[in-house]
Amino acid sequence: MAIDREAALALELPPLEAEVERGALRFFARATGEERPEYVDVAAARAAGFRDLPVPPTYYFSLELQAADPFAFLTDLEVDLRRVLHGEQWFEYAGQACAGDRLTLHSRVVDVVTKRAGMELLTKHTSVTDPSGALVSRLGSVLVIRGES
């Protein structure tokens, strides 16, 4: 079933508040092979000029997974989750977040394109802000929804 493009672009995705936790940052650093001490040791992070453990570049996407149902927007659009594939992602950094920071993620669907054989590309953008409202990062992702053929 094709995604209703107009419904997707009008969909209101609720903001997500997420706290950056030290343990999660350490786990992420290990999982991604990050070996620099400032990503796992608070003293090393402070010696490197950070307030606490810094958020690694690609970590912001994992914050989106803290939502009660991170794929609810796809269900709302009647997308069969068995047909969803990761297409691409990008990041733009405007600031540095650290452990203990409380961030807000504002996401929205910005495009839906239908390709051959009913395949669709759904593009979502997310802005990550700190408690003052200052931009920390922008994220983009493209999900591929395979056609039914």
85 phi, psi to nearest 5 deg = -125, 150
Topology of domain 5-145 in CATH is: Thiol Ester Dehydrase; Chain A (3.10.129)
CB proximity list for 131: less than 8 A, separation 6 or greater: 102, 104
> Is the entire prediction scored with pTM above 0.85?
yes
The Cα 148–Cα 87 span in angstroms is 18
Structure tokens at 66: 């803290």
Tens of pLDDT along 37-90? 999 999 999 999 999 999 998 899 999 998 999 999 999 999 999 999 999 999
66 phi, psi to nearest 5 deg = -80, -10
| CB 128, CB 105: distance < 8 Å | yes
User: Where are the chain's structural domains?
Assistant: 5-145
Tens of pLDDT along 89-141? 999 999 999 999 999 999 999 999 999 888 999 999 999 999 999 999 999 99
- Cα torsion at 25, 27, 109, 76 (round to 10°)? -130
Calculate mean pLDDT across residues 9-27.
Answer: 95
